[in-house]
């Protein structure tokens, strides 16, 4: 009887050890990402279609720079090998055109317009020249297939960039590529309830990413989790047991921002639903971050995306933006 109990206990212990091994992030991640704590990222730039400023557009990024917010953006690789800043896998929602980004040449893509405005789909190189280290970048690279050529091209594009950035992706294969080839660049695992629909494709893979069991492949430095799904047990183990840095996406309104400030380290927000006259909010209605370190010494960056195979960014470097623009408490 006693022997049987011991065997059961050993099996349970071994199971827990294996589970923790699968869930563990890179243990040095908190130290590496700490300079970026408190950053507020404008999701796809500070866009406002009512003002004619579409998402992931040059005006949206310029507005974020002027407001002093970090910029979250999305990167795809075109058919002819160009890195473009665009969120969706196809053009229907934003451009009203048929076709997928990865199956379209950039020359054709330049004839499309964003959300019925005069704005074109920008190249990543154009955005990098505009930002030029003024604010941190949160780059989410889209990867609709298992081909990680986009990672290599992104790495090449960022070699000469002077600003700050980190990598984030839903696709653990992307993060594994970064771990192997650019391990010095902080990387983050994006996730949410990816198995919400019972008939979803790639169910096993989505299950692993949903519960962060794929961490063993890439050992992320931080976790970026959907705000509405923040009670996920895998996320809570990373946050509370391993003390992994965590980012919340996407935050809408003052209530979300205030709540996230109490339990998250970084905040990805949409301006559209944010407002109010509370003194804790700036002119744009965005929550000011409380931070312990000197904001004149650091800035922040993260690289982040939507479809399971659709997300990656690039690495952090300290930069010195116009600090009068940054919102620090």
Domains detected in the chain: 36-269 (3.20.20.190)
Share of the chain above pLDDT 90, in %: 73
Q: What pLDDT, in 10s, does the model give residues 121-155?
A: 999 999 999 999 999 999 998 998 889 999 999 99
| Whether the predicted pLDDT of 307 surpasses 60 | no
pLDDT at 202: 86
List the Cα angle 189/193/194 in 5-degree steps: 80
DSSP string, 178-211: HHHH-TTS-EEEEE--TT-STT-SSHHHHHHHHT
Reading the block at residue 139, the tokens are 């780059």
Reading the block at residue 214, the tokens are 């794929």
Q: Where are the alpha helices (DSSP H) in the chain?
A: 2-23, 29-33, 58-67, 92-95, 106-109, 124-131, 149-158, 172-181, 203-210, 215-218, 233-236, 253-263
C-alpha distance from residue 111 to each of 6, 44, 107, 108, 121 (Å): 69, 21, 7, 6, 9
Query: Which contiguous run of DSSP H or E holds residue 246?
Result: strand 246-251
Contact 73, 45 (CB under 8 A): yes
Average pLDDT over residues 108-118: 97
pLDDT at 200: 76
Measured between alpha carbons, how far is 25 from 34 in angstroms, rounded to an integer?
Answer: 15
Q: Higher-confidence residue: 299 or 240?
A: 240
pLDDT at 159: 93
Reading the block at residue 135, the tokens are 């604010």
pLDDT at 26: 96
Q: In the 8-state DSSP scheme, what is residue 237? A: I
Contact 40, 295 (CB under 8 A): no
Average pLDDT over residues 91-95: 97
Q: What pLDDT, in 10s, does the model give residues 219-265?
A: 999 999 999 999 999 999 999 999 999 999 999 988 899 999 999 99
Contact 76, 101 (CB under 8 A): yes
pLDDT at 35: 87
Q: Higher-confidence residue: 186 or 223?
A: 223
Beta strands 266-269; 40-43: pairing state: parallel
pLDDT at 277: 32
Q: What pLDDT, in 10s, does the model give residues 266-295?
A: 999 997 544 333 323 343 334 333 333 332
pLDDT at 43: 97
Average pLDDT over residues 321-325: 34
pLDDT at 1: 80
DSSP string, 17-58: HHHHHHH---TTHHHHHGGGTT-EEEETSS-BGGGTB-TTSH
Measured between alpha carbons, how far is 68 from 267 in angstroms, rounded to an integer?
Answer: 14
pLDDT at 238: 98
Reading the block at residue 81, the tokens are 């090998």
pLDDT at 272: 57
pLDDT at 299: 29
**Average pLDDT in the chain:** 84
Average pLDDT over residues 83-90: 97
Q: Higher-confidence residue: 303 or 184?
A: 184
pLDDT at 199: 74
Residue 271 CB neighbours (<10 A): 22
Q: Tell me, rounded to whole angstroms, the distance of Cα 121 from its chain centroid.
A: 20
Average pLDDT over residues 2-22: 93
Q: What pLDDT, in 10s, does the model give residues 37-48?
A: 999 999 999 999
Average pLDDT over residues 170-191: 94
| 100 pLDDT tier (thresholds 50, 70, 90) | very high
Q: Which of 42, 93, 90, 67 is nearest to 251 (CA)?
A: 42
Measured between alpha carbons, how far is 78 from 56 in angstroms, rounded to an integer?
Answer: 16
Residue 142 CB neighbours (<10 A): 27
| 201 pLDDT tier (thresholds 50, 70, 90) | confident
| Whether the predicted pLDDT of 184 surpasses 50 | yes
pLDDT at 248: 98
């Amino acid at each position: 009887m006693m022997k049987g109990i011991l065997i059961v206990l050993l099996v349970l212990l071994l199971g827990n050890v294996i589970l923790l091994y699968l869930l563990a992030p890179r243990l040095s991640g908190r130290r590496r990402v700490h300079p970026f704590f408190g950053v507020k990222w404008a999701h796809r730039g500070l866009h406002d279609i009512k003002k004619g400023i579409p998402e992931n557009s040059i005006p949206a990024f310029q507005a974020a720079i002027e407001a002093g917010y970090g910029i979250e953006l999305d990167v795809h690789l075109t058919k002819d090998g160009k890195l473009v800043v665009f969120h969706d896998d196809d053009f229907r929602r934003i451009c009203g055109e048929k076709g997928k980004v990865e199956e379209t040449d950039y020359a054709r893509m330049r004839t499309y317009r964003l959300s019925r405005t005069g704005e074109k789909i920008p190249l990543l190189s154009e955005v990098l020249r505009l930002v030029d280290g003024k604010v941190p970048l949160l780059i989410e690279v889209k990867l609709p297939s298992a081909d990680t050529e986009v990672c290599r091209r992104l790495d090449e594009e960022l070699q000469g960039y002077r600003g700050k950035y980190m990598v984030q992706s839903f696709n653990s294969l992307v993060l594994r590529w970064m771990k192997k080839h650019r391990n010095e660049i902080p990387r983050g695992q994006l996730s949410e309830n990816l198995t919400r629909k019972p008939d979803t494709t790639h169910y096993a893979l989505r299950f692993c990413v949903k519960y962060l069991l794929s961490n063993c492949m890439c050992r992320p430095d931080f976790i970026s989790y959907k705000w509405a799904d923040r009670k996920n047990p895998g996320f809570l183990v990373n946050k509370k047991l391993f003390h992994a840095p965590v980012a919340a996406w996407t935050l809408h309104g003052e209530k979300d921002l205030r709540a996230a400030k109490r339990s998250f380290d970084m905040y990805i927000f949409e301006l559209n639903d944010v407002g109010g006259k509370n003194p804790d909010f700036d002119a744009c209605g965005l929550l000011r971050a409380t931070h312990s370190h000197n904001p004149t010494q650091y800035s922040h960056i993260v690289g982040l995306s939507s479809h399971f195979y659709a997300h990656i960014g690039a690495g952090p470097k300290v930069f010195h933006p116009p600090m009068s623009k940054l919102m620090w408490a």
